[in-house]
Structure 1
Amino acid sequence: MRRSRNNRSSRNKSSNSSNNSNSSQKTTSSSQLFPCTIDQLKQKLQETFNQSPDLSFQTFTVQQQKIAVFYLQYQINKDQLNKSILDTILSGNQQWDSQSILNKVPLGTGATKDEMDPIAKAIIQGSIGVYVEQDSEAIMFLAPELARRAVARAENESLVLGPQIAFTESLITNMNILRWRLDTTDFQTEKIIVGEDVPTEVRIVYLKDLANEENVNTIRQRIKELKVDDLPDSNILAQMIEDKSSSVFPQLLTTELPDRVCNSLTKGKVGILVDKSPHAIVAPASLFSFFESTEDLYMRWNMGTFIRVLRMLAMLISILLTPAYVAALTFHVEIIPSSLLVSLGKSRANVPFPPVFEALLLELLIELLREAGARLPTKVGQTMGIVGGIVLGQAAVKAGFTSNILIIIIALSALASFTAPSYMMGTAIRVVRFPMIILSGLWGLVGIILGLSFLIIHLMKLTSLGRPYLTPVYPFHLKDFDNSLMRLPWSQSTHRPLGNQPKKVKMYSEKKAKKKKDIDE
């Protein structure tokens, strides 16, 4: 009995193994598409692209050979299709195969593929496929017709001095601009594909002799670890790879200016470009880098320093001016001068709300006008912002909802927040202003000090790629003040920022920069 059971089990195992081998042979044979007929290839392509009407599949007969040409309409360059591929194949008087077509067609982008997945991916990217019936592989010629926006002036970071070009949605165009501006062999790029359903190309750019390898490795690791279906824009990528995404303050700088990216790369930073996005990411970034502008470099050093200090003061005014008004009227009336107190009393005589509610109401009104002006068309939005602010302000004063002085203070705070060159940082300042107003309404100056303490502690804990966010103030680096809070003359600006941890700190000799010669020497 035992022998018979063993024999049966052995027979079952042998039959199972044979079935497995047969099934594996069937799967391998089914996965192998080539060689095949033209009709089989057409059916397989239509199944892959879900019977898409954009898929063009044409069959030609040359020297009694059937040759198929397939591509996606509106995705390929028709001149290259007609002049380079079809004219060459149809005018030839020979037997074609994949190698002869590659040798005869005057395009250097041809490559042979023998599996359906690479063929489908190449078609999506703008390739033209050519297949000779019963051949062992198909030829894919990359000839995309990309809908690119022409290089134009920057709209969000407009400059008076310096280069006027901005990035576009084409990664090829953006890489050409950077290559043109950084004409050196040290310029390095790394390609990473992000997105499982919709693959998107991401490029890491840096100068090999300057960029810190730890920064490059951190960015590379964070991007490769992303498991997302789609990556629409570089601003979304910045939120995914920054150190603390829950903070209202951005930790990675996004810009549409190629000269700003190039200037950052020469200081040892790393740039990130995303296909189909007109913005680049610069890392690491500090709080003060969001208040810098490349226009500061093109001005004289004393004017550039004045404008940078003015932006810092504008940030403090935007955060503290309205809370100080609420705290003074609610808890600390004695600090207001007597002459100003009389006018304040007259303007607030008919206002039925407490100062904190009055301030929050007007701040919300300003934000609504700003958002409406940004979403409407340009001409209508500008008119809406100006006319709406004047009309609503006067109507609010006459109706007794607010005072004249508070309207001036709110307008100054809003104007100060717009001085930040970075749109993300300006938005963060406006968001921080609301909790500061609430704290000043609850506890007066004590609430303001409490809010500032929490804000400073939060900024001290923030990092960008592991680098301190408040550098060079914390940790303190006096030499880095030239690249953040102020500007020195070019003869004295000889060091790269230590906060970026560049490989080469010194740019050039200060003695040689100061040395001057007469014409006769």
Structure 2
Amino acid sequence: MFKWKRTSSQKKQDKSEKKLADILEAANRSADFTSFSPLDNSRITISCYTTLIDEKMLHRVLLPAIQKNSDSLSDLTDLKNIIPLEGIEITEDTSEAEKKLNQGHAILQLKGGGKFALINIDNPMKGVRQNNKTDNEFSVIGPKLGFIENLDTNLHLLRRQLGTTDLVVEEHEVGSMSKTRVAIVYLNGITNPEFVQTARERVKNVDFEVIHDNTIVEQLISDNTSTPFPPFLSTERVDKAAHSLILGQIVILAEGSCYAITAPVSIIEFFNSPEDYYLSWFQGSFFRMIRFFGVSFSVFATPIYVAVLTFHYEIIPEDLLGPIIFSRANVPFPPFLEVLFLEITIELLREAGARLPSKIGQTLGIVGGIVIGQATVEAALTSNILLIIVALAALSSFTTPIYKMSNTIRLLRFPFIFLAAIWGGYGLAVGVVLLLGHLLRLKSLGIPYMVPLFPFRAAGMGDAFIRLPYYKTNKRPSYLRTQKDKRFSPSENNNREKDINTE
């Protein structure tokens, strides 16, 4: 016998034909659901979740308007003239009613009618924090304004920064259960349409149940998920997201997330701080180079220590050989185990400090570092020199402005330690080659991750390792292939010939 199977279109039709009474009956199992009549004759029924709606709007706007004009209410279309609220929708679509009910809408029914009204009395700011300081991307100079967990507020902040009608916002619903609002923001006439189309298709094709944070969207739309490097740049700063839009990048925001995703990006951008652009170009370039040095030192300091003391004693200077022998005279472990013990101890302290409350975490990090470091040296479990190197490497990893890239730097250190313990300097060389090969294969929204280094773009180096003056960085990055290359004309904006001569 043939077994009849429903097609996907028939399943969707069955879902749309779900009766409203069944939806309300299922919702009535929850204690926070209510269904009542504002009139004595029970001609009108209002159903909603009390934990999602704005109760002041319900009792001060919706109910008084219905009770006052109940005699003139003969059809649902009259609600738009009676109730002073926007977003009133008259429909028969029960699937739309189920979705809107879970988003803070009230369902209004007339007795004996087939249609019903969906009235938006949602309170989007309920339970959302009002403090939007940039605690995780703090800068001494510059604005301290950051995103919060409300999408409309975040879009408002972006529009306040960029007062132009070319700022386009596309909204999509992601999550089969959560129906989370995800916005793709870009500048029309500047951003490459190919990037917008690619981001649009990837967001639409996301198949996930609940989107808790924008970082989930980042992982689901990334080019490569088998990499420790972040595919896109996440930021909580409004000025940084606005700067990315001006350059021609795309910004992705999600409801319930205080972080914005910018794409496409190169690896160089993860080491740029917003403060670089608020200082003079001399100071900004200096601090940026300090960060690049700190990242290199954090990754290679302890692996080089293991390689040198295990295989390459001959490269140690004579003046330094004595202190090293003296510090390791009573250490019973080889350099590999010695380094591994200290590195894991530092990571444990860092994780414990991050998970505890801020005051206790700071105390634990300081006291724990001092006590454990001093105790391990006195117990001859490690040497003084290695303790200094590990501490400096840990400090260097914190110079990275982006937290996700900082985690990547911490993770990369361990494979290099193992390679140095196995093959010494040759192991470090093999690790560098493998790392570069991996980076050269990575892409961010279809753009090479290593650009402007590879493929080499000389025009993009002006804002890479150093920050040139503004009048020399008036062009947008060439790898973004923007529709407008120039941001401003320095010959017009910096014409000093028009200055008043006071001589």
**Structures share fold, TM-score greater than 0.5:** yes
- Structure 1, unpaired ranges of 5+: 1-23, 34-40
Distance 2:437 2:54 in 1: 56
Out of 203, 206, 215, the position equivalent to 2:195 is 215
Change in 2 beyond 3 A, CA 1:65/1:328: closer
Given that residues 18 and 95 in structure 2 are in contact (C-alpha distance below 8 angstroms), is that contact kept between their aligned partners in structure 1?
Answer: no
Q: For 2:146, which of 161, 166, 183 is the aligned residue?
A: 166
Alpha-carbon shift at residue 136 of structure 1 (Å):
3.5
- Matched residue, 2:64: 87
Which whole-Å CA distance do the structure 2 matches of 1:497 and 1:417 have between them? 27
Deviation of the 1:141 alpha carbon: 1.4
Match status 1:117 vs 2:98: no
Instruction: Give distance in 2, aligned partners of 1:65 and 1:352.
Output: 85
Question: What does residue range 40-119 of structure 1 map to in structure 2 within 5 Å?
Answer: 44-49=22-27, 51-61=29-39, 66-92=43-69, 94-96=71-73, 97-119=75-97
What is the DSSP-based 3-state SS (H/G/I as helix, E as strand, rest coil) of the residue aligned with 1:226? coil
Q: What code does the residue aligned with 1:144 have?
A: D
The answer to whether the 8 Å contact 2:80/2:88 transfers is yes
Question: Residue by residue, what CA displacement relative to the aligned partner does 1:415-466 show, whole Å, maximum 9, x if unpaired?
Answer: 1111000111111111111111111122221111111111111111111112
Deviation at 1:291, TM superposition (A): 0.4
CA contact (8 A) 1:98 1:135 kept: no
The answer to whether the Cα contact below 8 Å between 1:102 and 1:139 also exists between their aligned partners in 2 is no
Distance 1:94 1:234 in 2: 48
Tell me what 2:235 maps to.
255
Describe the SS at the equivalent of 1:450. helix
In 1, are the aligned partners of 2:190 and 2:482 still within 8 Å (CA)? yes
- CA distance, structure 1, for counterparts of residue 439 and residue 22 of structure 2: 57
Tell me by how many angstroms 1:512 deviates: 2.1
Q: What are structure 2's unaligned runs of at least 5 residues?
A: 1-9
Map 1:216-231 onto structure 2 (within 5 A).
216-231=196-211
The CA deviation at 1:329 is: 1.1
Per-residue CA deviations over 1:157-190 (Å, capped at 9, x if unaligned) read 1111111111111111111111111110110111
Percent of residue pairs bearing the same amino acid type: 40
Letter in 1 for 2:129: R
Q: How many residues align?
A: 486
Say whether residues 1:132 and 2:110 are aligned partners.
yes
Q: Could you list the runs of 4 or more consecutive aligned residues of structure 1 that deviate by over 6 angstroms after TM superposition?
A: none
Give the TM-score normalised by the residue count of structure 2.
0.93
Match of 1:197 among 177, 185, 203: 177
Partner of 2:358: 378
Equivalents in 2 of 1:32, 1:338: separation in Å?
Answer: 84
Does residue 264 of structure 2 align to residue 284 of structure 1? Answer: yes
Q: Does 1:293 align with 2:273?
A: yes
2:325 aligned to which of 345, 356, 359? 345
Which residue, 338, 342, 352 being the options, matches 1:358? 338
Amino acid across the alignment from 1:458: H
After superposition, the C-alpha distances for 1:22-67 in whole angstroms (9 at most, x for unaligned) are xx9xx99x9496xxxxxxx7x54432315222111112436x5611
Structure 2 match to 1:488: 468
> Cα distance, 1:109 vs. partner?
2.1
State the Cα distance separating 1:94 from its structure 2 match: 1.9
Distance verdict in 2 for CA 1:93–1:117, change over 3 Å: closer
* Aligned equivalent of 1:8: none
SS at match of 2:450: coil
Contact 1:188 1:206 in 2 (8 A): yes
2-side partners of 1:59 and 1:463: how far apart? 57
The residue aligned with 1:315 is 295
Question: 1:114-156 deviations in whole A, cap 9, x for unaligned?
Answer: 2332222222111122222123422221011232211421111
Contact 1:255 1:280 in 2 (8 A): yes
1-structure distance, mates of 2:17, 2:276: 61
CA deviations 1:328-376 (Å, max 9, x no partner) are 1111112111121101101100001111111111111101110111011
Contact 2:38 2:63 in 1 (8 A): no
- Structure 1 match to 2:251: 271
Partners of 2:80 and 2:113 lie apart in 1 by 14
Query: For 1:12-51, what aligned pairs fall within 5 Å after superposition?
Result: 31=17, 44-49=22-27, 51=29
Secondary structure of 1:495's counterpart equals coil
Amino acid at match of 2:118: M
- 1:68-91 superposed Cα distances (whole Å, 9 cap, x missing partner): 122111211122212222112212
Q: 1:412 aligns with which of 380, 387, 392?
A: 392
State the superposition RMSD in angstroms.
1.9
The answer as to whether partners of 1:308 and 1:485 remain within 8 angstroms in 2 is: yes
Check the 8 A contact 1:32/1:115 in 2, yes or no: no
Counterparts of 1:61 and 1:270 in 2: how far apart (Å)? 50
Distance 1:362 1:314, change over 3 A: same
Deviations 1:198-243 (A, max 9, x none): 2111110000111111111111111111222222211121111111
Aligned equivalents of 1:171, 1:398: Cα separation in 2: 54
Q: 2:4 corresponds to which residue?
A: none
* CA distance, structure 2, for counterparts of residue 196 and residue 89 of structure 1: 34
Instruction: Decide whether aligned partners of structure 1 residues 363 and 381 sit closer, same or farther in structure 2, where only a CA change above 3 A counts.
Output: same
Paired amino acid for 1:73 = T
Q: Is 1:142 matched with 2:120?
A: yes
Query: Could you say what secondary structure the match of 1:69 adopts?
Result: strand
- Give the AA of the match of 1:321: A
Greater Cα offset, 427-436 or 114-123: 114-123
Q: Deviations over 1:355-400 (max 9, x none)?
A: 1111111111101110111011111111111111111111111111
Give me the whole-angstrom Cα distance separating, in 2, the residues matched to 1:246 and 1:314.
Answer: 26
Give the aligned residue type for 1:58. F
